[in-house]
Structure 1
Amino acid sequence: MFHKEGGPSILLGTSFAVAVLLIADRFIDIAWLRMLVQIAGVVILIIILQFFRNPKRIAVRNSDHILAPVDGKVVVIEEVYEGEFFKDKRLQVSIFMSPINVHVTRYAMDGIIKFSKYHPGKFLVAWHPKASEENERTTVVIENETFGQILYRQIAGALARRIVNYAQEGMQVVQGTDAGFIKFGSRVDLFLPLGTQINVELNQKAIGGKTIIATKA
């Protein structure tokens, strides 16, 4: 199963692979070189397909849980000052996605979208300390009765050049469902209320819509 955002890229990649196979078969007489070129064309298509894969996941909805919004590695767990929306201290949990991770963004909890904003910006490497404030990014705030308001931020990386965000203010969203997509290596930051019980550790692998990031204290 592939994400709908991958449609144009998958079509282009398939056309490219087919063209390489046909052209190599017609114009390259050296058998080993022809095979090498054809394999390269197929490998490029496989890379595109794996990047846009969208595994079917049914989240176990629980109002006391914050689920991982993306696949990747937990790279930050710390208390920070969040200056865009809350303007106070929050617990930040950041998940870094490499190009080989699934890049679907999922809603971390049920609730209502209270804020959704796109910010143009730089393309620093996703793990750069200033990436959360200076890179191209989207900021989304979800509110429910259990946790109040949480904020998640999709952040473009050095390679990511397009962030897709489906969240719109006033929407009622369902935990674990599709919230958007980020192309190539990137990062998602979660900002949670102080006192929230964090259930992951640094360098832990997170699975979007499955891993429990935090629970109500």
Structure 2
Amino acid sequence: MSLVSTIRRTFVPVHRLGYPFIAGFFVASVLLGFLWEPLFWIGLILTAWCAYFFRDPERVTPLDDDLVISPADGRVSSIAFMTPPEELGLGDRPMLRITVFMNVFNAHVNRSPMRGTIRRIAYRAGKFVNAELDKASHENERNGLVIETRHGEIGVIQIAGLVARRIVCWTHEGATIEAGERFGLIRFGSRLDVFLPEGAEPRVSLGQIAVGGETVLAEFGSAKGPVISRRD
């Protein structure tokens, strides 16, 4: 095994968008260390956390067009029928919405939940209330993608939170995207909402920890019925 392969297996890659932040934390640590040595070590710990925050691990995504894959790491905080934000153009009828809440310790790279074509990208400025609150779906700063899939149009919304102040999306309208493919990132805590058309059945439970690019959130065309779970 080569040295490069060993390093890649040992250390999780860091997304390039995190490099300026990591460098800034480190420089600040050095400067503060000249004033008082303990500040250097505190800053070094924060620098390590920043690198951890911007980690971008490889994931193994199930290749099945009937499956809806989690777009982010985090906790499933809501499974409900809600009306999607109007800027997505998905109509005014309630759709199945599954929410994944990311805290500041989760990986924050966002991934497509299904394979398809991006029909619309709609950014909307807004507030920065707690992303766990239900009203954050309509009041907070957000960036929504509408993806045309074999089961119809789905909505994927990046929502800012109390700490998150920067939503990044590097895909574009008309692009073809694969399930599990990276399309964006939200800095420092937030959530992802996935709106699904009729026929989708949840495959997760409230409070479950989801892994972006791997955990199946929902499934189309299944006769299994809703998930039944228990907490031990």
Q: In the alignment, what sits opposite 2:83? A: 81
8 Å Cα contact 1:140-1:167 kept in structure 2: no
> When the two structures are superposed, what TM-score results if normalisation uses the length of structure 1?
0.90
Match 2:62 to one of 54, 57, 60: 60
Contact 2:129 2:136 in 1 (8 A): yes
Runs (5+) with no aligned partner, structure 2: 1-12, 222-232
Question: Does the 8 Å CA contact 1:200/1:212 hold for their aligned counterparts?
Answer: yes
Instruction: Measure, in 2, the Cα distance between the counterparts of 1:78 and 1:37.
Output: 46
Decide which moves more: 77-86 or 174-183: 77-86
Query: What is the DSSP-based 3-state SS (H/G/I as helix, E as strand, rest coil) of the residue aligned with 2:101?
Result: strand
Partner amino acid, structure 2, of 1:166: W
Task: State how far apart, in whole Å, the 1-side matches of 2:134 and 2:60 are.
Answer: 33
> Of the candidates 172, 176, 180, which is equivalent to residue 184 of structure 2?
180
Distance, in Å, in 1 between the alignment partners of 2:84 and 2:142 is 15
Q: State the number of aligned residues.
A: 206
Moved more, 12-21 or 155-164: 12-21
Q: 2:207 aligns with which of 197, 203, 206?
A: 203
Report SS of the residue matched to 1:82: coil
Question: Aligned partners of 2:134, 2:79: CA distance in 1, in Å?
Answer: 13
Instruction: State the alpha-carbon separation in 1 of the partners of residues 40 and 128 from structure 2.
Output: 34
Deviation, 1:47, is 1.4
Corresponding residue for residue 25 of structure 2: 13
TM-score after normalising by structure 2: 0.84
- Separation in structure 2 between the aligned mates of residue 151 and residue 175 of structure 1, nearest angstrom: 14
Question: Does structure 1 residue 154 correspond to structure 2 residue 158?
Answer: yes
Partner of 1:136: 141
Contact 1:91 1:192 in 2 (8 A): yes
Q: Is the 8 A contact 2:160 2:166 kept in 1?
A: yes
1:195–1:60 CA distance, 2 compared to 1 (3 A): closer
Distance in 1, matches of 2:159 and 2:62, equals 26
CA apart distance, 1:156: 0.2
Q: Distance in 2 between matches of 1:80 and 1:133?
A: 11
Separation in 2 of the partners of 1:62 and 1:205?
Answer: 21
> What is the root-mean-square deviation of aligned Cα atoms in Å?
1.4
Structure 1 unaligned spans of 5+: 29-33
Aligned equivalents of 1:13, 1:57: Cα separation in 2: 28
Q: Determine helix, strand or coil for the equivalent of 1:63.
A: coil
Deviations 1:82-110 (CA, angstroms, capped at 9, x unpaired): 24121222101001100111101001111
Once the two structures are TM-superposed, the CA of residue 167 in structure 1 deviates from its matched residue by 2.9
Per-residue deviation, residues 128-184 of structure 1 (Å, max 9, x unmatched) = 221111110001011122x21110110000111000012311000111111100011
